[in-house]
Chain A
Amino acid sequence: MSVVSLTPNNATRPLARVPSPTCHPHEAQPDTTACGSAAGHLVATHRCRVLTHHAVNARYRYLRLQADAPVALTTRPGQFYQLKCPVTENDAPFLLRPMSVYGTGPEPDTMEFLYNVTGVGTRALATLTEGASLDIVGPLGNTFTLDTQWQRVMVVARGVGLATMAPLVQRAAAAGLRLTVVMSARSEADLMRDEFLRSPEARALADVHCVFDSDGSSAVAALEPRIRALLAAAPHDAVYTCGSHRLLMLLQRVLAAHPEITGEVAMEQRMACGMGVCLSCVRLFDCDGDKQFLRVCREGPVFAIRDVVGEVDFG
């Protein structure tokens, strides 16, 4: 069984990426590191038009963009863009805001984001009206590993992890993989089950388990035995997570008993450049016994769950 990466290979890379015969940017950097893998896409600033923008519930907003290039064809599950949020009367965001892609297509130039208004940047972003312009930079980062020959995968999502993993769920469902879906939210009102399992295929293939802070079912002590039982009940080929450090640590413990299962997490970190230049978004990983700082924007955002060094939490 061969594990395929969702990252496009060299043949699909746009030729425009090599500016002149004397320049060899591909050879200038390793394609992979000890853990994590480099992105290897043509990165560009895209001028986009806002097609749709509305509130999904009290916490989340949905944004659909039309770009000036076929971004849907080159964007892979787990990847992100940097958004140049507008300057408003009340907010003047300076840095771009990294945001994972919630969906692409069906048109080759359209892309979707699902976000929570949490600060200056997203507050300014929320003011964009349909028809407005927005610059985005990307695609950035690596992608999840998924083998279409696999039988069943588990997805554990909370908060923004929902948006990050939605494209992975679509990809897995399209390949006919069965899904064990664990969704964690503050309360039932915050849960976005339909937004997460967007297609009829995903809804048909998913065995969904919802846990909430409001009834205590999302607490680690309650969830850990439940996830152990789910993994014991049916063989899983992979477990994915994003959005909660506690869930990540829980899965790292649980996966210790399942060396055969691939475990991946999409990490988050405060970043500036998004391209691996500024070194602000590093986190600590254990790569075969060698502890090293890796860039979430470049070697990630997707990492092996087993490699994450949990006791270091720089916030």
Chain B
Amino acid sequence: MADLSVRVGALTLRNPVMPASGCFAVEYAEALDLNRLGALVVKSVSPDARAGNPTPRVAETASGMLNSIGIPSKGLDAYRRDVLPAYTRFDTPVVVSVSADTAESFGEACETLSLPEVAAIEANISCPNLEADGMAFAMQAESTYKAVSAIRRRTSHPLWVKLTPNAGQIALIARAAEDAGADAIVMGNTVLGMAIDVRTRKPKLGNVMGGLSGPAIKPLAVRLVHQCHRAVRIPIIGCGGIETADDAVEFMLAGATAVQVGTASFRDPAVMGHIVDGLDAYCGANDVERIATLTGAVALDAQLSDRWLRFAQQSG
């Protein structure tokens, strides 16, 4: 049996597999042993109560799905009282995901949730920033720095910052999160998308636009993880279209220390257990003693482009 443990900042996880926030709830305990996972990442909570978006909230796409759930929330008190205890009963670190409208309320919410039973806080700064006309904090390096700094001032808990694939210049944004004190980066979130029913001419989502997830976005997410890996020293948790152990290994080779599994659980509620088993099998088959050594181990040939250019010139 290979050593599947990984370190994300100060936190040691028994293996690199955890659910993605929004695609996980304690109901999966009926289909899967939650004590086998690396961490439990709970659905995002926002300080203000909100009902979520109108239905339909989900639409199928090629090798993926669009969703516009809208982070329904009953606020922090109800979350701590009614939601969190269901997750902290397991022998697995619990990560709370927080979403807020302003940098200040982000900081307040993360302070409130810096509880002893919470192992880490994931700040979902991919959500709309009311101070910038609804543009997500993580769309720009400056607003990323501001939001993460505001949170860092209010908590000493391990802080993971979830970035968005919708941003350009991801290296600058990742570096801004690191500079502001993030302990890890979660890369990434859903990709903004839209689908229309050609018969009714109506958008397929009640909220018109939504987030694309699933295997359709995996190459995009692997690229972003790799770019972040080149830009920062803090660990990266890869996320986007992971369905198999090979997918998880691919993210680790690109630079991820751990991975989050989202949409795949909707197709097979036991899939995270299969991925853990598959990682062990991969290590066994490939003589990998410690899975942590896979992080960033993509075989890059730094001179390839130079040699190719010379070859191309010779060939006329």
Q: Which residues of A contact B (CB under 8 A)?
A: 17, 19-20, 22-25, 27-29, 41-45, 84, 92-96, 120, 137, 269-283, 293, 298, 314-315
Contact = CB atoms under 8 A, between A and B. Distances in A.
B35 A20 contact: yes
Chain B interface, DSSP helix/strand/loop, else mixed: loop
A45 B269 contact: yes
B30 A25 contact: yes
B91 A23 contact: yes
Nearest to B64: A94
Interface in B37-55: 43, 51-52, 54-55
A44 B72 CA distance: 27
A-B CB proximity, top 4 nearest: A25-B29, A19-B33, A314-B55, A28-B86
B185 interface: no
B55 A278 contact: no
Contacts of A277: 23-25, 27-28, 265-266
B55 A23 contact: no
B35 A22 contact: yes
Candidate in A24, A93, A269, A273 with the most chain B CB atoms within 10 angstroms: A273
Given A27-B89, A277-B24, A293-B51, A271 B30 contact: no
A23 B33 contact: yes
A275 B63 contact: no
Nearest to B86: A28
B239 to A, nearest CB: 16
B293 interface: no
B61 interface: yes
B66 to A, nearest CB: 10
A41 to B, nearest CB: 7
Size class of the contact patch on chain B: 35 or more
18 contacts: A19-B36, A25-B30, A43-B30, A43-B269, A84-B267, A94-B61, A94-B214, A271-B58, A273-B266, A277-B25, A278-B22, A278-B67, A278-B69, A278-B266, A280-B69, A283-B55, A293-B52, A314-B54
A169 B206 CA distance: 36
A276 B86 CA distance: 14
A273 B57 contact: no
A274 B58 CA distance: 12
Contacts of A24: 89
B266 A272 contact: yes
A29 B87 CA distance: 10
A281 B31 CA distance: 20
Interface string B106-127: 0000000000000000000000
A19 B86 CA distance: 15
Contacts of B269: 43, 45, 137, 273, 275
A92 B64 CA distance: 10
B58 A272 contact: yes
Contacts of B29: 19, 23, 25, 28
A45 B270 contact: yes
B65 interface: yes
Interface in B184-216: 206, 214
A159 B206 CA distance: 25
Given A278-B58, A279-B57, A95 B34 contact: no
Contacts of A29: 26-27, 86
A285 to B, nearest CB: 13
B65 A95 contact: yes
B9 interface: no
A276 B25 contact: yes
Contacts of A84: 267
A93 B65 CA distance: 10
Contacts of A315: 55-56
